[in-house]
Amino acid sequence: MRNVTINGQNITLTTDQNIQVAIAVYSPTVVRVRMDKQPLAADFSYAVIAKPAQTKASITQTDTDITITTDSLTARVLKSPFAVAFFTKGGKVINQDEEGLTTSWIGEEVTTYKKMQEGERFIGLGEKTGGLDRRGSGYTNWNTDAFGYRSDQDPLYTTFPFYIGIHSGLNYGIFMDNSYQSDFNFGASNNRFSSFGAQGGEMDYYFIYHTQLTDIIRSYTDLTGRMDLPPLWSLGYQQNRYSYYPETEVYRIAQTLREKKIPADGITLDIHYMDAYKLFTWDKSRFGDPLAMNKKLKDMGFKTTVIVDPGIKVEDNYGAYERGKKDNIFLKYHDGRNYTGEVWPGWTHFPDFTSEQGREWWKKELKFFSDTGVDGFWNDMNEIATWGQKMPHNVLFDFDGHPTTNKEGHNVYGMQMARASYEGARQHSPNKRTFLLSRAGYSGSQRYTAIWTGDNRAEDNHMLLGIRLMNSLGVSGVAFSAMDIGGFTGNPSVELYSRWIQLGAFTPYFRNHTAVNTKSSEPWAYGEEVTEIARNFISLRYKLIPYIYSNFYEASQTGQPLMRTLAIDYTHDPNVYNREFDSQYQFGKAFLIMPFESGKQYGKVYFPKGKWYNLFTGEVEQGGQEKLIGIQYNKLPIYVKESSIIPIQSLVQHTGEKPTDTLTVHVYKGDVSNSFVYYEDDGESYDYENGGYYKRTIQYDPRRKAITFDQVEGNFTSNFNNIKVVLHGFIGTKKVKLNSKNQSLAKDFASFLEPISRFDPQGVANPLEGYEVQSLVVKNDKNRFTINF
């Protein structure tokens, strides 16, 4: 190391091999490290939107090292050989370069090698197959059209180069912000190191240290941004198909959902709505008046989402093509000719979404859909996908004034398409939330869009894999995610579809979808019994909308996912990484969901620390144990954590329908304190950005024997005039005090699913269980009140 300069929170230096290094304290818990073989480029990132915070950081230098000290960590930069290590304030190693390897180049490829700590585990990297713990595996980030992918295939559609390391009671995060093809190795084919590297560009990574995983996720999303609140309708059930056409078929699907009392909010149109697959067109023979159709659907309580692919057909007199040529917005080779690839409409050009000019063109074009009453955009094929799957590397990207090739532009293309769609939607409907979904993405995509896990298969292992993919996306900043319920390719068995749709009710975006040339996959397509089961769990989803929406509010504020791997709250419990249990997850902090393959009658589960209530019977299981449980065909195993607070509403058929005026808040007795932020707004506008919300913190304190509803924040008027507090596990409690005044509790009955009186695997009538609880109704004004039990 030589030429060291220390300036405030920043260190710059060169090595004796002329490597340029910059180390910056971003916050007390985040340190950034940049290295290159040439002078470091001007700072530019599609992922990182945060600026360094003013931090009390002490930087000292001796003959052997440089030490950075904040109130949270210590970083030491060894001078010879150059190496970086991070320690707790007490001196424990959190993470360190592997001596002798550190960071090095092979040609243009740059890799940083980290010493693998004793017992170290690794989670994250977004949409990656395999188990929860990635130790022993290696992964490549190169956004890929992975149709019908294997359950162990890599890479898939997205790039999230962020992971969390866990060892010795410690945890840290590393985000490598480099959009070239990248590779992560967590002890695959070696027993010495973990590593991360890229095929070009500089080494640029952010080291994050906190004692809790929730805070690591918060810091990572401080860097890369968080989701907006979604439109409320997007949290309801979505009926998709490749494809629903003509419009009479769309009406049939919508009408059948209503007739069968299966709640639903959305219908999605795949590529067959277009004229010869040409974007920004409607096939007039199939959809003669799309505006009238979408209005009729809205009157029935449905919103329409349409697929949008990036490829613009090369065809004279086709409007989008002619306007794109005129505005000169297509990706090009270095000789100036437009890149042409073949996809659904034939030979096509592709807008350069990494240029402001390309995004502005796309935003103008999207008005076509706004004018025809569309409420959601599904950004597909944006890896970029083309027939042959081999887009040439010599295609040029503007990269917002930092010209580059496909090698660097490829992985951010889908993210920038989603960005253009998001900005266009806000431009055309400034105070209306539009739903956005994308197949491809890069870190920071969560600011613009939900992500779904692509073209999966109708197989048990894909159902469980989808759970792990979404859990990993949640750790990686993407709180709004989905998988194709029932599987995209192939035909699920009756048992598999039944189990999958039960699980779907406990995923962030509840999307039923299947491919062309497969069996219809609507809930009624598998017989009357499955229709009943699907109706039950979709209805339960709609009752839980207040809980789900409140959790999305938390995601918008802190980045915490609704769908949570158990590693978030039970990070150092080795059982949560066991392959028998690593598909279990929490839905919010309250629910423990236990997925199983279809057809199983018994299965082993793991209850983490604490007490867990069976949602359907109220029976209590003690945590810290494995247990063999019976599995019912018509009922997903679901448990509720002690001290949980769960707001629910009456059943509605779509989110535009008003529930009754009573909000029911379920409180489960426990030995630990808990709080829940209940949140409401109008569900469709951005008025919440200016105070148009209703927010109330609800606290459960077993020591004070108190349930407290804090004073309401915000100026939105709640949809509910009354609050019914339902007490679970408070055996023998007949009276409480409401603001110090005695109140009698009413006997009540908890039953979360409607009885399925006609169906049972053995053909015997088997109503679903309910159990006795106590309740109290309180007027919902904005004042604080306390219930003492």
CB 474 within 8 Å of CB 564: yes
Alpha helices by DSSP H, 356-405: 356-365, 367-370
Type of residue found at 206: Y
Give 3-state DSSP helix, strand, coil % of the chain, rounded to 5: 20, 30, 45
Cα(256)–Cα(302) distance, rounded to whole angstroms? Answer: 13
HSE of 389 in the Cβ direction (CA atoms, 13 Å)? 9
| Residue 611 bridge partners (DSSP) | 622
| Residue 645 bridge partners (DSSP) | 667
Distance of CA 186 to the CA centre of its chain: 23
Cα(362)–Cα(368) distance, rounded to whole angstroms? Answer: 11
Cα(567)–Cα(135) distance, rounded to whole angstroms? Answer: 14
Type of residue found at 87: F
Cα(111)–Cα(203) distance, rounded to whole angstroms? Answer: 7
CB 687 within 8 Å of CB 681: yes
| Residue 3 bridge partners (DSSP) | none
CB 425 within 8 Å of CB 366: yes
The label of the residue with tokens 């995509």 reads: 445
CA distances from 633 to 37, 596, 720 (A): 60, 10, 35
The end-to-end CA distance of the chain, in Å, is 65
Cα(444)–Cα(222) distance, rounded to whole angstroms? Answer: 10
User: Under 8 Å CB-to-CB from 261, ≥6 apart: which residues?
Assistant: 535, 653
Type of residue found at 100: G
Cα(574)–Cα(168) distance, rounded to whole angstroms? Answer: 12
Phi, psi torsion values for 308, nearest 5 degrees: -130, 120
CA distances from 32 to 57, 134, 180, 204, 309 (A): 13, 24, 19, 7, 36
Strands 238-239 and 511-512 come out as parallel
HSE of 730 in the Cβ direction (CA atoms, 13 Å)? 27
CB 510 within 8 Å of CB 482: yes
- Closest to 344 (Cα-Cα) out of 245, 269, 275, 419: 275
Strands 109-115 and 203-209 come out as unpaired
CB 424 within 8 Å of CB 363: yes
Cα(552)–Cα(569) distance, rounded to whole angstroms? Answer: 18
CB 553 within 8 Å of CB 545: no
Which residue among 380, 522, 569, 680 is the active-site one?
380
Cα(78)–Cα(307) distance, rounded to whole angstroms? Answer: 52
Query: Catalytic site residue 455?
Result: yes
Q: Which two tokens stand for residue 347?
A: 């030979």
Which residue among 455, 459, 484, 532 is the active-site one?
455
The label of the residue with tokens 């606290």 reads: 699
Which residue among 383, 398, 460, 522 is the active-site one?
383
User: Under 8 Å CB-to-CB from 642, ≥6 apart: which residues?
Assistant: 610, 611, 612, 613, 668, 669, 670, 671, 672, 729
3-state secondary structure 416-466: HHHHHHHHHHHHHCCCCCCEEEECCEECCHHHCCEEECCCCECCHHHHHHH
- Report the catalytic residues: 380, 383, 455
